[in-house]
Structure 1
Amino acid sequence: MKCRPLSVRHLFYVNCIGLLFSMATITLIAFSFTLEGAVFIMGAAEAVCALVWFFVLTQSLGKRLSRFACELCDTLDNMMDGGEAPETSDNSEALLARISHRLTRLYKIMQENRRRVEEERRELQALVSDISHQVKTPVGNLKVAADTLLTRTVTDAERSGFIKGIRSQADKLDFLVQALVKTSRLETGVICLEKKTSPIYDTVAQAMSGILYAAEKKQIAVSVTCPDGLMVSHDGKWTAEALFNLLDNAVKYTPSGGRITVTAEKGEMYAEIRVTDTGKGIPENRQAAIFRRFYREEAVHEQPGVGIGLYLAREIIMRQGGYIKVVSQPGKGSSFSILLPLR
């Protein structure tokens, strides 16, 4: 059977009745032994004194608890509104001090959660804005080409040109979607990188196979130096993806007749895969920005791409405990290095 909780007033009445009953019982027992009438007077006086002091104690304790409850409510309201941190209480009572300390910890946790939610909201807004900006151009081009084919009489040569343009814009949209899917799956943990100790030569060869045709088409000389026995703990598939993105950029931004050099070396704690090109180079004040998602410099907008390759490459390497560094000077080319821990 569930007991109904007593209110503070009823609890006070119950304690008063219990106190009077106890004092009366003690007085009667004392009278039965002494048979003196003065015992009743003393018992009544003690009962009155006990009731007075009990009332004073209850009132002071009630006011203190009431004040603490009001402060607690104000603090909780302030915390929910995102106001200032609650003040640490110096109450001597251990219970009130423990509550105060836990409120401070709860406030810090709430503030951290609120900060994370706000940061995620800003990132989501930026992502939606970036995707909208990236999609707007190819979609607009597709609409123009389609409207032209539907409303105008064109020659076979013009029709072929429009169809090629439509195919090019569709390929750009497909590339954007694929890049976004890879990035999203990596960031949300859908893809877990599995590090295994394997030859780095195989990873370099896998990445190189994706850019050889484009490099040959631009008559770019590509050389590779990689020891066969260099073993590194890494995820071969995704590391090859990151390395391919670096190589793909090197081919895009290196002029015809240029040179790309790929070198793999073993250090004391890291294995380094370095991609060096003879391209236009990157100013020092832009070298941190190039790893941002969808970042592209104004001077290279004529080149194909959406500005997500370097961002994805950095995410892949960082999730394996490594990092990417860049050394570059305008007019003297760039050197991107992937550094992976040996174990």
Structure 2
Amino acid sequence: MMIPILSILLCLVTILFCYLYLNKVLGRISTIIDMFISKRTVEDTDVSDTRESKLISQLKRLLLIAKHDMNSSKEEKEMVTRLISDLSHQLKTPLANITMYVEILKTESLSEEEREEFIQRTGEQAAKMEWLLKSLFKTSRLETGIIEFNEAPSFIKETIADSISAVFSQAEKKQIRIVLEECEDRKLFHNRKWTVEALSNILENAVKYSPESSEIKISLVPMELYTKIQIEDQGIGIPSEEFNLIFRRFYRSEQVEQKEGTGLGLYLSQLILSKQGGYVTVDSKVGKGSKFSVFLKNDLITP
């Protein structure tokens, strides 16, 4: 008679223990889920090597993955919203100009010379829109990490020569000399194609804001970990309070508002360089010119 009673008591104790055990585990799981929903830091200090601790740990990892995915999704939506906003803002002016030129071209009283002029202006505005679209999408893909760089140690002089070639015709129109000072070629870690774009954007600004018959000097300054590529012009200069602002997306100084430009070039340059572990700085004096310094990592391995 005693044995059945003991068995029943043992079963009841086991059931009670299982109930309390499951209640404790479910309580901890419920607490963690509540913390996640209320956006508090998910914490659990139990690090014992038990099955329930492993379950709790797996749940935490699952919730962290879900949180990361939610944040990524939010960032992507914000990126798309910003891109659409940027596009509508930047395309408004050239689109309005094209509409106006098309209306003018409908006028029968235009001479052949005037007609050719407005056709040329329409083409220029269309080219500006195309460049804007390409630059914005390129910027967006760089920011989101869709474009990945495969930088490798390669000689920098050819990269500099290609960037000079990209702005040569613009410099020639203003009779501006671009001079690469005598220096030893160096192997630097960079992606040639993208670095050409970064340097040519800086050179294009130098040409745009320099007077006719002036000179732009490019020099290499070897350093311990980096090599500095220095681009010095004799242009209008930049106020010191704008040194950091000029690398922001779409920033344009008040003193250059009347000149053609989008404010994307320098932003794109610093974005490209940072993706390669490099960076760019500026030093300038108003009315004296500007000095942009591009830093790229030295090849410390290849003999």
Scaled by the length of structure 1, what TM-score is found? 0.76
The aligned residue for residue 188 of structure 2 is 232
Show the 5 A alignment for 1:30-109. 44-66=1-23, 68-69=25-26, 71-73=28-30, 75-76=32-33, 79=36, 81=37, 83-88=39-44, 90=46, 94-109=50-65
1:320 to 2:276 alignment: yes
1:246 to 2:202 alignment: yes
Partner Cα distance (2:174, 2:278) in 1: 32
Q: Is the 8 A contact 2:149 2:276 kept in 1?
A: no
The aligned residue for residue 110 of structure 2 is 155
1:173 to 1:75, Cα distance in 2 relative to 1, 3 A? same
Q: Is the 8 A contact 2:228 2:296 kept in 1?
A: yes
Partner Cα distance (1:106, 1:245) in 2: 44
The aligned residue for residue 176 of structure 2 is 220
Matched residue SS, 1:279 = coil
1:92 to 1:273, Cα distance in 2 relative to 1, 3 A? closer
1:215 to 1:92, Cα distance in 2 relative to 1, 3 A? closer
How far the C-alpha of 1:312 sits from its partner, in A, is: 2.1
Give, as a single letter, the amino acid of the residue that structure 2 aligns with 1:307.
Answer: G
User: Which residue of 163, 178, 190 maps to 1:207?
Assistant: 163
1:142 to 1:226, Cα distance in 2 relative to 1, 3 A? same
Partner Cα distance (2:239, 2:72) in 1: 33
Partner Cα distance (2:254, 2:54) in 1: 58
Runs of 4+ in 1 over 6 A off after TM superposition: none
Q: Is the 8 A contact 2:231 2:292 kept in 1?
A: yes
Partner Cα distance (2:47, 2:17) in 1: 15
Give, as a single letter, the amino acid of the residue that structure 2 aligns with 1:318.
Answer: S
1:337 to 2:299 alignment: no
Give, as a single letter, the amino acid of the residue that structure 1 aligns with 2:181.
Answer: T
How far the C-alpha of 1:74 sits from its partner, in A, is: 5.6
How far the C-alpha of 1:169 sits from its partner, in A, is: 0.5
How far the C-alpha of 1:153 sits from its partner, in A, is: 3.4
Matched residue SS, 2:250 = coil
How far the C-alpha of 1:228 sits from its partner, in A, is: 4.5
How far the C-alpha of 1:91 sits from its partner, in A, is: 9.1
Give, as a single letter, the amino acid of the residue that structure 2 aligns with 1:174.
Answer: E
Q: CA-atom RMSD, angstroms? A: 2.7
Matched residue SS, 2:96 = helix
Considering Cα pairs closer than 8 Å and 6+ residues apart, tell me whether 1 or 2 has the greater RCO: 2
1:181 to 1:92, Cα distance in 2 relative to 1, 3 A? closer
**Unpaired runs of at least 5, structure 1:** 1-43
Q: Is the 8 A contact 1:263 1:274 kept in 2?
A: yes
The aligned residue for residue 121 of structure 2 is 165
1:89 to 1:230, Cα distance in 2 relative to 1, 3 A? closer
Give, as a single letter, the amino acid of the residue that structure 2 aligns with 1:242.
Answer: A
How far the C-alpha of 1:336 sits from its partner, in A, is: 0.9
How many residue pairs end up in the alignment? 297
**Higher-Rg member (1/2):** 1
Q: Point out the more displaced range, 84-93 or 238-247.
A: 84-93
Give, as a single letter, the amino acid of the residue that structure 1 aligns with 2:29.
Answer: L
How far the C-alpha of 1:249 sits from its partner, in A, is: 0.6
How far the C-alpha of 1:126 sits from its partner, in A, is: 1.5
CA deviations on 1:147-205 (whole Å, 9 max, x unpaired) are: 3333x43321432332122111111112213323544555544464342422x222222
Matched residue SS, 1:56 = helix
How far the C-alpha of 1:100 sits from its partner, in A, is: 3.1
Q: Is the 8 A contact 1:275 1:337 kept in 2?
A: yes
**Unpaired runs of at least 5, structure 2:** none
How far the C-alpha of 1:142 sits from its partner, in A, is: 1.1
Matched residue SS, 2:108 = coil
How far the C-alpha of 1:289 sits from its partner, in A, is: 2.6
User: Which residue of 206, 220, 224 maps to 1:264?
Assistant: 220
1:93 to 1:265, Cα distance in 2 relative to 1, 3 A? closer
The aligned residue for residue 301 of structure 1 is 257
User: Which residue of 43, 49, 70 maps to 1:114?
Assistant: 70
